Each structure stands twice: as structure tokens, then as C-alpha cells.
Amino acid sequence: MQIEVWVFVLSLIGVLIVGGVIGFFLARYLIQKQMEKNPPITEKQIRTMYEQMGRKPSEKQVRSIMHSMNKNR
């Protein structure tokens, strides 16, 4: 049984597109799951950064930064 060249090319392109779409959504799901487990920055890290700059952060400053980080997700 011989397959036509154009059928092979179209099926190959279709498989690549479907694979790309599935890969995109799978990677998106895995990254979102990872970000929920390990947030990019914590309050402790913000306090440490302020202290390294020689400043004592107030609770209001820490909460403000955390709020802006969560808002921009």
C-alpha cells in the first residue's frame, strides 16, 4: 500500500501542530502548579533584602510589596 506524498505531508504538519498545542498546555499547567508550591518571593526574603540594603522594613512596606507581587501575577 502506497501513501500519497501530500497526505503524508499534511498528516505530519497536523501531528506537529497538535503536539505543539498539547505541549504548550502541559507546560503551562506544570509551571502554574510549580509556582503555587514555590512562590517566587516570600515575606522573609523581602525583609532580608531590606536588611541587606541597610534598612529596617516596616510591616506596611512588606505587605505593600507582597500585594504588588500578587497583583501582577
Residues 12 and 32 in one domain: yes
Q: Looking at the 3D structure of the chain, how many domains does it have? A: 2
pTM value surpassing 0.85: no
Do 33 and 1 share a domain, yes or no? yes
Looking at residue 37, what is its pLDDT?
86
User: Residue 25 has what pLDDT?
Assistant: 98
What's the CA gap between 63 and 9, in Å, rounded? 56
65 vs 49: CA distance, rounded Å: 12
Instruction: Enter the DSSP assignment of 40.
Output: S
pLDDT, residue 73, reads 64
Instruction: State whether 32 and 21 are in the same domain.
Output: yes
Residues of the chain with pLDDT below 70 are: 1, 73
Same domain, 28 and 61: no
Residue type, 6: W
State whether 32 and 54 are in the same domain: no
- Domain that includes residue 19, residue range: 1-38
Q: What is the pLDDT of residue 42?
A: 85
* Domain match, 65 and 49 both: yes
Q: Are residues 71 and 47 in the same domain?
A: yes
